[in-house]
Structure 1
Amino acid sequence: MTTKPSAQVSRAEYARRINRVLNYIDAHLDQPLDGAQLADIANFSRFHFHRIFATWMGETLGSYAQRRRLEKAAFRLSCGSHETVLETALATGFHSGEAFARAFKLKFGCTPSTWRSTTLQRLKMQASAIGQQPGNQESNPDQVFSNIHQEGEPALGESDVSYRLTETCAMDVRIIDLPKARVAYHRLIGPYGPAIGEFWRGTIAPWMHSNGLSDETCYGIGHDDPSLTPANKCRYDACVEVPAHFVASGQVDILALPGGRYAVASFKGKAKVLGNAWIWLTREWMPSSGLQCDDRPCFEMFSATTALDPHTGEFSCDICIPVRAL
């Protein structure tokens, strides 16, 4: 006799399948996306997949893919690389510069070239203003780098307490090769900020303990830039390294973090200034390093057992940025 799955188990399975599709889309934004193939990845009916996706995500498959392409393009343009606007367009799935420019202006209200020039100028001004607030969340295109463990604190914004960028400028940055890692991940979709700390405490830590994973390495991955992506659609993955024989269940799924060359900086301090460490790395260190960020995920890597000092309240982690030659 077949037991009918509970609503909670059923929703967890839906979430896991949709997350696989979202991961695939992000890894293939430069290619045409086939709905039938995506349905197969999710193991859903090809006939019903588009309706299932739209119901779950609150936007159609086509709208989601277009939004992600434009958000990725805006991020690339703001990173100060030497690629042309056409190269950015092709790298994010647009077949011509004209089509890209029209779609970009419709979403962001300006041309890609204007976005790049005004963004870089603003970042230079912000980075040089030592002691000034790092930027408004509504307009800061690299706010993606300050999205984790601001426990009990709001996201960076004009009303927040200012912290001098020089507080994090003493970090040593190593260029090292990191091995590929097999991780189990739980995904949180919603605004970055205090909810992420609560997610780790209330969901991830108990799950790690019940699965005998409390001593394993943890990774925090913020996939979206909240200055580009609607807050209620931002994706954050809480990841825990797992052995080859580990079998995921429920909403948890398995993914492989790619290895390779990374810039790694060791952070130790109050969690609420971790965002400033990211800002210093991307605005100050990266432009003078002869390197640029590539398309692999950035993440924070830490040990759950030693990351938080109970006496000082300081958080320790390695900030890892995938890099390639400029």
Structure 2
Amino acid sequence: MAGELPPDARMRASRAEYARRMNRVLDYIDQHLDQALDLAQLADVANFSRFHFHRIFAAWMGETLGDYARRRRLETAASRLARGSGEPVLEIALACGFGSGEAFARAFKQQFGCTPSEWRAGAPQRAAALLAALHSNPDQVHSNAGQARPRPPGDHDGSLTLYGETEMDVHIADLPAVRVAYQRLIGPYGPQIGVFWRQTMAPWMQSHGLDGQLCYGVGHDDPSVTPPDKCRYDACVTVPEGFLPTGPVSLATLPGGRYAVARFKGQPQTIGNAWMWLTREWLASSGLQCDDRPSFERFDPAGSFDPATGDMICDICIPVRAL
């Protein structure tokens, strides 16, 4: 039949459509953690059969819908507890979809082996342990935690020494909302993100005339909380109004608002160290706190790499509000 795709192309197109639909569901769940998640409603979001959706979800994600939603609620709560913002535990529990503080405490202890209050108190020790683990793992991120210096309280602007002789400028900016097309990688943060950009996202961008557009990398999960094989990363590119995605690509809007913006220039394996100290040291000394918008890396593909030094160049953007 004229115009019919060959079998391999049909298979790729079908898998791409499944990826788009499942990403819609995952995004919807994250945006509605404080609400009851109805199976039929989620099936409609994905445009899958209500009768078969639970089985499709479990096969695609490797966990049932109920287990996934519970894990995301608890991981989100754990990240909020670790911010040091002083939010009441009950307020966090309700915001993450738990009906009472008691139900939240039971589920939290079952997941993480400690109470929410103990988790909050142990945040500095976990951060130090994660830095030590990153330092000892050459496939992830090298760090020199002892060389970092916290910023003076309330000082939001200027530069921050992170490691060695490297400094980052940190300033507060109001960023506009941005419409992006994205492809999602699920798995450990680290070198495979670069491979995903080079082998998957960049060829797609070039084939759609987007290789000169501003790009964003969005890591949705805290690797100190979420299992490595469950971490989600979105490779995003700015798209014009009316753009229609093809292949395994979905559309999203990165929200605008107030961000702490830090220019990073350094070896790619050190960017995890930069993220760690910005969120654990600079932020704690800034008089600000994170809110629930996503953090991201922003870069111009044409100027994101220095061939002479091998340095990566990007802006680390962290959503902030007053304490």
| Among candidates 187, 190, 212, match of residue 190 of structure 1 | 187
Aligned to 1:255: 252
Aligned to 2:41: 37
Alignment of 1:112-191 (within 5 A): 112-121=116-125, 123=127, 126=128, 134-136=131-133, 154-156=139-141, 162=144, 164-165=147-148, 166-168=161-163, 170-191=167-188
Partner amino acid, structure 2, of 1:75: S
Q: Calculate the TM-score normalised by the size of structure 1.
A: 0.88
* Residues 133, 162 of structure 1: 8 Å contact kept: no
Task: Quickly say closer, same or farther: Cα 1:122–1:62, change in 2 above 3 A.
Answer: closer
Aligned to 2:69: 65
Give the Å deviation of 1:254: 0.5
Q: Calculate the TM-score normalised by the size of structure 2.
A: 0.88
| Among candidates 92, 99, 106, match of residue 102 of structure 1 | 106
| Among candidates 202, 206, 220, match of residue 205 of structure 1 | 202
Once residues 133 and 39 of structure 1 are traced to their aligned partners in structure 2, the CA distance between those partners, rounded to angstroms, is: 37
* Residues 267, 312 of structure 2: 8 Å contact kept: yes
Give the Å deviation of 1:115: 0.8
Aligned to 2:59: 55
Give the Å deviation of 1:134: 2.2
Once residues 167 and 89 of structure 1 are traced to their aligned partners in structure 2, the CA distance between those partners, rounded to angstroms, is: 34
Once residues 133 and 113 of structure 1 are traced to their aligned partners in structure 2, the CA distance between those partners, rounded to angstroms, is: 20
Give the Å deviation of 1:227: 2.5
| Among candidates 210, 214, 218, match of residue 217 of structure 1 | 214
Give the Å deviation of 1:162: 4.2
Percent of residue pairs bearing the same amino acid type: 65
Aligned to 2:226: 229
User: Any stretches of 5+ residues in structure 2 without a counterpart?
Assistant: 149-160
Once residues 307 and 20 of structure 2 are traced to their aligned partners in structure 1, the CA distance between those partners, rounded to angstroms, is: 34
| Among candidates 63, 69, 92, match of residue 88 of structure 1 | 92
CA shift digits 1:256-314 (9 cap, x unpaired): 11111111111111111111211221122111211100010000000011100111111
For these two proteins, the number of residue pairs brought into alignment is 302
Give the Å deviation of 1:84: 1.1
The answer to whether 1:240 aligns with 2:237 is: yes
* Residues 162, 277 of structure 2: 8 Å contact kept: no
Give the Å deviation of 1:161: 6.4
Once residues 96 and 302 of structure 2 are traced to their aligned partners in structure 1, the CA distance between those partners, rounded to angstroms, is: 39
Partner amino acid, structure 2, of 1:70: L
Once residues 69 and 135 of structure 1 are traced to their aligned partners in structure 2, the CA distance between those partners, rounded to angstroms, is: 27
Partner amino acid, structure 2, of 1:89: A
* Residues 180, 259 of structure 1: 8 Å contact kept: yes
User: Any stretches of 5+ residues in structure 1 without a counterpart?
Assistant: 127-131, 138-149
Once residues 119 and 59 of structure 2 are traced to their aligned partners in structure 1, the CA distance between those partners, rounded to angstroms, is: 33
Once residues 143 and 89 of structure 2 are traced to their aligned partners in structure 1, the CA distance between those partners, rounded to angstroms, is: 37
Moved more, 163-172 or 238-247: 163-172
Give the Å deviation of 1:226: 2.3
